[in-house]
Structures are given as structure tokens and as C-alpha cells.
Amino acid sequence: MENVNLSTSLVGVKLRNPLVLASGIVDTTASALVYALKNGAGAVIIKSISPEPRPGHKEPILHAIGKDSMINAVGLSNPGMELGAEEIKQAKARTKEPIIANIVAFTVKDFGICAKTISKGNPDLIEVNMSCPNVDDEHGKPFACDPELAAQVTKEVKANTNIPIIVKLSPNVANITVIAKAVEKAGADAITCINTIGGMVIETKTTQPLISNKVGGLSGAAIKPVAVKAIYECYKAVNIPILGTGGVTTGNDAIEQLMAGAVAVGIGTAVYTRGIEVFDKINKEIEEFMQENNYSTISELIGLAHKKENKQ
């Protein structure tokens, strides 16, 4: 089989290939977003945008773990929703490929305000980052860790935009499918599985944590099995599309997430470990796999692990 079709669809938005630049990776400006697209990404997600500008945490904000993983706590540094919408608008003017917004807030109401403003940039989709604590909650519980809170945010965002939304789920929960079902019922058009896993690294000579925030998010190859499991379980639990994200470094990693049930796959830490050319490299690896195993379309791979399971 010589020719394969790498295109896929995420909530009705066509992607020329299944690889998406994940939020927070070299994606704070229109130029950076377009640059990733020129290097083979099928779509790009801008860094999380909050209602007000945020400076982020002081250095050090990240630490490499092995060759292909890292822990980071950037602190959601961003220019705020007004400038964020403008960057999206500029990116849209420079490319025909999908531009996806990402919003974050610390109250339910602010999620709605941010969604309404960021929609002025006319992104193709809006990803909703719910992993931050709710300052209105007595215990500061992260929205993504409570099905009721997650549903409230979903409804608030949906009420303030006509653009389809993707709710980004956290793996730091007892049962991710409970949250997935809650946001689906509340109107989410898709979900992202997963955000980073909370962790810490201590420098034994100084006896202190290696990043200024002490705790951070673990990303990269180390979390891939957790992401695959979350995708697999959510695919069985909900009927909305899944954007797989977490630990994808190679074409085979991407295929695992597609077979688990993702319709597209986010690339984050691998941009640092394999360079911005990682998109072209992984696309080529996926294409080679499909040719060698007689697959002609990405749709044949999506959820394939479940189909094989059902036949047993």
C-alpha cells in the first residue's frame, strides 16, 4: 500500500494529520503557532489564556527527567484574554489550518468571561483547562477533580460561546470517567485526556525541591501509559471525541493513543526532546506503520483496541 490518508476530524474540524501542538509548548504568539504548523502539525493549541495577564512563577520552572520527560510549573504565564484573542486572530489570518484556543480561570464566572472574550479571535475550537484550584471553593479544590464543579464550568463556557469546546481532564483523580461523563452531560463537545500528573523532584545535596513552586506537572514519556489508560476508559464511557495527550514521543506512541480511542493526538514535551521537526518525523513514522500493516486511513486505527477486545 503506497498511499495513506493521515487526515482526521475533531468535532467537525478537519485536520490534515492527527498531530496537535499541545497547549503550553512554544505557542504563545501567532508566529510560534504558524511555525509549528509549517513543521507538520495538523492543528495547534495556544498556551492557556486567563482573564488577566499572569507573570508566572520564578525560575527555575522546569527540570528534565531522563531523556524524554520533565516536571514543570510555569505558573500559567500569559498576556491575558484580550491580547490572547488578538494573537489567535493574527494566526488565523496567516494559515488555513485549525487554531485552537485554551482558557483557564480560577472561578466559574471567569471561565465564562474568558470564553466570551477569546471567542473574538475566532478560534476553531476552545480547550478548557480545568486543572487549577477554584478560589471560590472553601478547600480550593481543582475544577477537574470534582464532577459537579467540572460540569458547572462546562455549562458556563458553553453559555458564553458558540465555538465547540474541548474539556481538558486531569489524571489526578480516582476515576477519570466520572468527570468525563459529567462534562459530556453538561455539553462538552470533546475531551482531552490528559493533563500533566502532579509530582515533585528534590535535590538531595541541597535538600530542596528543584523547581521554585516545589510541585509541578510531570509530562513526557513517563506519563504515556497513564494517558493511554485514560483514553481507553473514557472511550468506553462517553460518546464525544477524545484528543489524546500525554507522553507521545514516537509514531508508535501516537498509534497507541489512536487505538485506545483518540481521534487526534497532542504533542508537547517531545517538541523539546526531538525538536520542532517532531511533527514531520512522527507523521512519517505513522505513515510507515500504516503502509507496513495495510491501513489506509486514520479512522481505521481509532478505537481499534476496543474492536479487537470485542472479538475475543
Residue partners of 312: CB distance under 8 A and separation at least 6: none
Per-residue cell: 235? 472511550
Given 114, 132, 145, 193, which residue is catalytic? 132
Could you give phi then psi for residue 237, rounded to 5 degrees? -95, -30
3-state helix, strand, coil in the chain (%, to 5): 40, 20, 40
For 64-67, which contacts have Cβ atoms below 8 Å and span 24 or more sequence positions?
65/201, 65/218, 65/220, 65/222, 66/221, 66/222, 67/273
Cβ atoms of 167 and 150 within 8 Å: the answer is: yes
The DSSP-derived string for 181-231 is HHHHHTT-SEEEE--PEEE--EETTTTEESSTTS-EEEEEGGGHHHHHHHH
114 an active-site residue? no
Paired strand residues for 103: 49, 128
Q: Which residues are catalytic?
A: 132
